[in-house]
Amino acid sequence: MIQKDNILIIAPEEDIHAQAIAHVLRSQFGAQVFIWDSSRFPANDPTTFRLGANGTSFWIKSLDGCISVDSLRSVWWRRSTKFKISDSVSDPQVHNFCLRECDAFFKGALSALNIPIINDPNNEIAARKPLQLQVARKLGIIIPETIMSSDPQEIRAFWKTYSGKCIYKAFTSPSWRMADTRLLSEVDLEDLETLRHAPIIVQEKIEKLHDVRVTIFGEKIFAASVHTNLPQAELDWRLDLTASWEKHEIPEDLGQKLVHLLHLLGLQYGCFDLRQSPDGSYVFFEVNPSGQFLFIEIDTNQRLIQACAELLWYPQFSTQEVYQS
């Protein structure tokens, strides 16, 4: 059984980020770290939440023993996988009902405990792009002119305002492919009737000096700029698997605004995507509450893994405190 002051990482067992952080926590802090795949619930790992006059307890029975969740020092919600419902539940409506029940139970039980969670899965609002951009703008962070709409007429008018220098992207990533950022072309304008199925995000195209990724753990800031080799990665560096990163210095006041933005969204960790314009200014695009960061450490030697481990070992917040902020 995992004893008090140990750490749970919710991720697939083979997740390289989970493995790296677990290694630091074990070797430097002597922690017992349990990496648990949420797809094991409920089909394989029975889970129980109990509360009453004698207190509250929450535990997971796994192949490696019983995890006493309520006694953990912290939880890293690194990369959850879909809850696994038994194949014997063949009715789609019943299957979906079971998934909703599992989600309501598991996240509800976590929220009832005063345990720091990085980042709390109940805070789904933090990933909403309209909110991120609005909060950033109010903090004085530059954002691109943006329209989000299902109205073809409004999208075309916006495109004309910026003489066709616009990009478009999705609100969320589909499960079957990467939704990369693309130029909105005249050909695309002819196909806008598909907006009746789902809206899109359209923004003015920001000229680039550097694309910058800023990763923040608590109040520790790490910035890096990317060098891409492929022309198709001009708008989205993720399209270039040969891209390389180097340490980048952002203005101190911008760093503090990003920390403030992170905490206003109820997050303790996040990966910010910015673009530095040729005039030196920085434009905020979005923050990923569960972004990857090992590639940054590999190229820049910045100690992001250490910072993440320290945030889990020395949490300065609780779930309740985040919601009260």
pLDDT for 96-151, tens place per residue? 999 999 999 999 999 999 899 999 999 999 999 999 999 999 999 999 999 999 99
Same domain (yes/no): 19, 85 = yes
| Under 8 Å between Cβ of 299 and 244 | yes
pLDDT at 133: 97
Assigned domain for 131 exists: no
What pLDDT does 76 receive?
97
Residue 141 lies in a domain: no
Q: Is residue 44 a part of any domain in this protein?
A: yes
pLDDT given for residue 114 in this prediction: 85
φ/ψ of residue 233, rounded to 5 = -95, 10
User: Are 195 and 230 members of one domain?
Assistant: no
| Nearest-angstrom CA–CA distance, 98 and 96 | 5
Q: b or e along 154-178 (b: 16 or more beta carbons within 10 Å of the residue's beta carbon)?
A: ebeebbeeeeeebbbbeeeeeeeee
Range of the domain at 185: 148-168+178-201
Look at residue 70 and tell me if it is in a domain: yes
Domain of 252, CATH number, reads 3.30.470.20
Q: What is the count of structural domains for the chain?
A: 3
For 292, half-sphere exposure in the C-beta direction (CA atoms, 13 angstrom radius) is 9
The answer to the question of residue 129 being in a domain is no
Q: Would you tell me the crossing angle of helices 304-313 and 16-29 to the nearest 10 degrees?
A: 60
Q: Which residues pair with 210 in a beta bridge?
A: 276
Question: What pLDDT score was predicted for residue 2?
Answer: 45
242 in the same domain as 192: no
Same domain flag for 35 and 79: yes
Residues 164 and 214 in one domain: no
What pTM, to 2 d.p., does this model score?
0.91
**Gap between the Cα atoms of 157 and 205, Å rounded:** 15
Cβ–Cβ < 8 Å for 162, 205: yes
Phi/psi of residue 229, nearest 5 degrees? -115, -15
Residue 138 inside a domain? The answer is no
User: Which two tokens mark 158?
Assistant: 């916006």
Question: Coil, strand or helix: which one is 228?
Answer: coil
Q: What is the pLDDT of residue 172?
A: 84
Q: Is the pLDDT of residue 321 over 70?
A: no
Residues 217, 318, single domain; the answer is yes
282 and 320 belong to one structural domain: yes
Are residue 221 and residue 279 in the same domain, yes or no? yes
293, 214: one domain: yes
- The DSSP annotation for 119-152 comes to T-TT-GGGG-HHHHHHHHHHTT-----EEEES-H
Asked whether residue 254 is assigned to any structural domain, the reply reads yes
CB 223 within 8 A of CB 248: yes
Give dist(CA 264, CA 304) in Å, integer. 22
Q: pLDDT tens for residues 153-210?
A: 999 999 999 999 999 998 887 766 777 888 899 988 988 988 889 999 999 999 999 9
- Is residue 143 assigned to a domain? no
Same structural domain, 28 and 100:
yes
